Homo-oligomer: A and B are copies of this chain.
Amino acid sequence: MRIAVLGGDGYCGWATALYLSQKGHTVQIIDNFIRRKWDSELGVQTLTPIRTLHERVSAWSKRTGKTIEVLVGDVTDYEFLASAIRGFEPDAVVHFAEQRSAPYSMIDRKHAALTQINNVMGTLNLLFALREFQPNCHLVKLGTMGEYGTPNIDIEEGYIEIEHNGRKDVLPYPKQPGSFYHLSKVHDSHNIMFCCKIWKLRATDLNQGVVYGTVTDETSLDEALINRFDYDEVFGTVLNRFVIEAAAGHPLTVYGKGGQTRGFLDIRDTVRCIEIACLNPANPGEFRVFNQFTEQFSVLDLALMVQTAGAKMGLSVDINHIPDPRVEAETHYYNARHSKLVDLGLQPHYLSDSLLDSLLTIAIEYRDRIDMSLFMPQVNWRSAKNERQLDSKSLSVTTAGQ
């Protein structure tokens, strides 16, 4: 298939582009490098020393003989995006090109607006470009499990049958997103659902859980192919951050009670889920939603697992419960369905001791690149303005170490 990967220089995007290329698809990466710019803005960097996109793609070509086309530009620029779609004529577009950090979106008004405009307008442009130039192309859009929030009933995959006053309908599952970022994904979902209805576009919304891991079969072929491994409080997802905190000898930063339960998946499953979605496209007019995760854990579950894995490697790992900078339930019911991708053939990599060992090993390998000042949360949901890096002591560390 001809597959365009928007945001193909990012954490999930890069791994996905390589996997799809390895599988024999013709892959085009579209990226504007804004993810790297945000690192510079915040004064953070990936633990792993990633190469420039052109170096990466060139190394991939040398190792495998496979070519990945690169197009540099911004999806919020309609003329650019439309010309890209016209030129490449993709069978599927995998859309990762969004600002994907909840804390980043909560820094202040400008970051909230940037996140919502970037994400919503990028997707809107893509919908119009597909409608105008490639209406049969399948849109594979990255959503998030965070769109659902934490309702007190089971979470279904996108839709729920509701019986009410003696009548029934299947309706979009109610959304309770927990940050301006998560809200942007909810806005996207509504916009995409509508465009599928009026224009008969095909779309799959992949409500992805929290991704962990960094290595895939493809990225490990050559050091130049190494993927991002973010651990800072803004872009570091929770398990990755815990592993690096453990390697650095820093207490694990559990927000509040740590009973926040979410869906998680290994990045090796992210890339497979994307291919499964591409190979099994939605029908014309269909807006399909898959919950893309493999296991549920609470934040405290993960901290305890990292503590145990660390102990086996001789690391003494403390766990600190710090005040939750987010406004969220610290304990709650959580049970989310996630069978549609498994029904289509996904064989999950479950979180294992060996995966934790390998993550800890990588973290230790690059330990000299760790900046411990980036672990503590500096963005508080309750503030309208967070002066990041000027106010890092606003959340004091409690000493609830275990």
Contact = CB atoms under 8 A, between A and B. Distances in A.
Given A113-B121, A116-B124, A175 B172 contact: yes
Which range contains the number of A residues in contact with the other chain? Answer: 35 or more
Interface string A106-130: 0001001100110011001100100
Contact of A151 (B113, B171, B187, B333): B171
A382 B178 CA distance: 34
A368 interface: no
A177 B194 contact: yes
A76 to B, nearest CB: 9
Interface string A359-401: 0000000000000000000000110110000000000000000
Contact of A187 (B173, B187, B333): B187
Contact of A124 (B113, B173, B190, B198): B113
A75 interface: no
B186 A190 contact: yes
Interface stretch (A42-50, A66-74, A162-170, A300-308): A162-170
A154 B160 contact: no
A162 B165 contact: no
12 contacts: A116-B121, A116-B191, A153-B171, A154-B167, A160-B164, A167-B333, A171-B174, A172-B176, A176-B193, A177-B190, A177-B194, A183-B187
6 closest A-B pairs by beta carbon, nearest first, are A171-B174, A152-B169, A153-B164, A198-B327, A109-B128, A187-B187
